[in-house]
Chain A
């Protein structure tokens, strides 16, 4: 019995020793300095030496950097709270406690948010409706481990129209998207612009980017419509600082196989450029470059048509007619859900109140 008891107490002491060591490690000022220097080096490297996207990927969004931040917050808590234990609480200390508690709250808010957040980017053409529960509606999705998209995002969105030079109380707010978001019970309709978003059931809708989306129509020789689709154009900034609106990638003009349909046979490679009129951006000139499909490289194919046309003017391409019937806008919209945000912002204000309280109390005490 005695031996057993000794063994137990020995094990308990060992455990206590481990806890003691852990406590000493986490409450060490040296750890604060080491963490601070590491965070400083990371920030300097991430901001001065690396391009922003690379820094975000390899430093600011990395696990090791977030572990450093977690350690720093734990270190703050372990350094501070044991020191105030059983001390007389005056205004100075109250302020300091509030300030340091706000870090813990901030941390809880960030962790909670990271588990249930949702970020998505959708792209719609004017008049288009998208189901937000369907992952195929998104260009980009990020979400927390415990977020359930199918359950929480039972809603749809419509882009009614895009307005340039949207005015609010006489102030020019730039581009605005008029959208509706709805579910089974209610529908919300509003303009979203740079400082205004729409909120629906905890999800916020922000305006992101936009561009032209012309309706390109293919007809046979008798004028019967065979195919038509809105094709979003890229906005490429040229050397003269003007924008070129063209089919392609974000970096350069390119070609798409046309028609872009899995059922119909692809007839040729198409590149379309659009030159909007300075007075009305929805009316302008079109430039088609059409090539035969012989390989994966459109440049290998024979040129079938290359030239300009007015809007709705039909150009002859082999046995078909091609036209740009109308121009609409496309808009990309960021959808965000951050349930931890209220806690994060509350903690920031609480911390701010704490530093003001402690500073004012110190100044009064000195006087």
Chain B
């Protein structure tokens, strides 16, 4: 096993241990397990970054050209956002109970799909719009995953009042945080869609192809747009939106990585057939 894979699977192991720490911390109501989960997630991120760096150096191109690389970079950004949130408030530790298991499952799956490093980036991917597209997609994913985590914590806080739940932020703050992360994700998804359209226009002369991933990304964007409308226009708050953000992130994950895995299309392995 080469160095890249050693770091990659170490990251997967740390993410897995972190996920278990968060889940058992929640079940056993032991805050120390949350702290352990946090340290493990940080170690996992270090492994993740190192593995990506090794792959980058080995191939000479930023690794995001196939589905496993896309998942790996998406998880990396999501965990980085999660750790920034953790650093900003100790009271938000519990969101790791949703963020870390999702990250663990995704990156583990990416490991099973990992291919030999590509030494050359496909000509069609040599566009500056791609950077905006990937930054928008990864950051958007990280934001809505954290939003879903705050949604879960909101529901727990509403149901349980004692023990570690007592220390969680009040429901209004959680609800507000949920909204802010969804709004951030909505903006980043917007950037992803626009840059994707410009990129597609540069390569194909068509800004929109109704490609399955395109259609699902639009659906995701509309779903988060609905979230914002329900909150701002219809006055929805609290539990309903907490559930909404948790279901919406599943649709988002399906659209990003489920659809290209199942349906042959432009985004499948991000190949261009000519």
Contacts and interface: CB of A to CB of B under 8 A. Distances in A.
Given A194-B203, A336-B205, A47 B259 contact: yes
Interface residues of B, number: 43
A244 interface: no
A48 interface: yes
B113 interface: no
Given A47-B263, A334-B205, A173 B126 contact: yes
B219 A195 contact: no
Interface in B155-204: 176, 180, 183-184, 186-187, 190-191, 193-194, 197-198, 201-204
Nearest to A204: B205
A38 to B, nearest CB: 12
Contacts of A173: 123, 126
A63 B93 CA distance: 50
Contact of A352 (B124, B190, B233): B190
A351 B190 contact: yes
A175 B205 contact: no
A209 B274 contact: yes
A197 interface: yes
B182 to A, nearest CB: 10
A194 B215 contact: no
A23 interface: no
Interface stretch (B17-25, B46-54, B206-214): B206-214
Given A43-B216, A194-B272, A334-B205, A55 B210 contact: yes
A194 B123 contact: yes
Interface stretch (A130-138, A313-321, A341-349): A341-349
A44 B254 CA distance: 11
Interface string A34-47: 00100110011011
Nearest to B265: A52
A316 B49 CA distance: 66
Interface residues of A, number: 47
Contacts of A349: 194
A344 B194 CA distance: 10
A345 B207 contact: yes
Contact of A195 (B191, B203, B226, B262): B203
A175 B124 CA distance: 11
A359 B207 contact: no
Given A47-B216, A208-B274, A56 B127 contact: no
Contacts of B222: 36, 39-40
A44 B258 CA distance: 13
A60 interface: yes
A355 B190 contact: yes
A52 B212 contact: yes
Contacts of A10: none
Contacts of B272: 194
A163 interface: no
A193 interface: yes
A29 interface: yes
Which of B176, B191, B212 gathers most chain A CB within 10 Å?
B212
B89 interface: no
Interface of B: 120, 122-124, 126-127, 176, 180, 183-184, 186-187, 190-191, 193-194, 197-198, 201-207, 210-212, 215-216, 218-219, 222, 226, 233-234, 259, 262-265, 272, 274
5 contacts: A173-B126, A194-B123, A341-B201, A344-B207, A352-B194
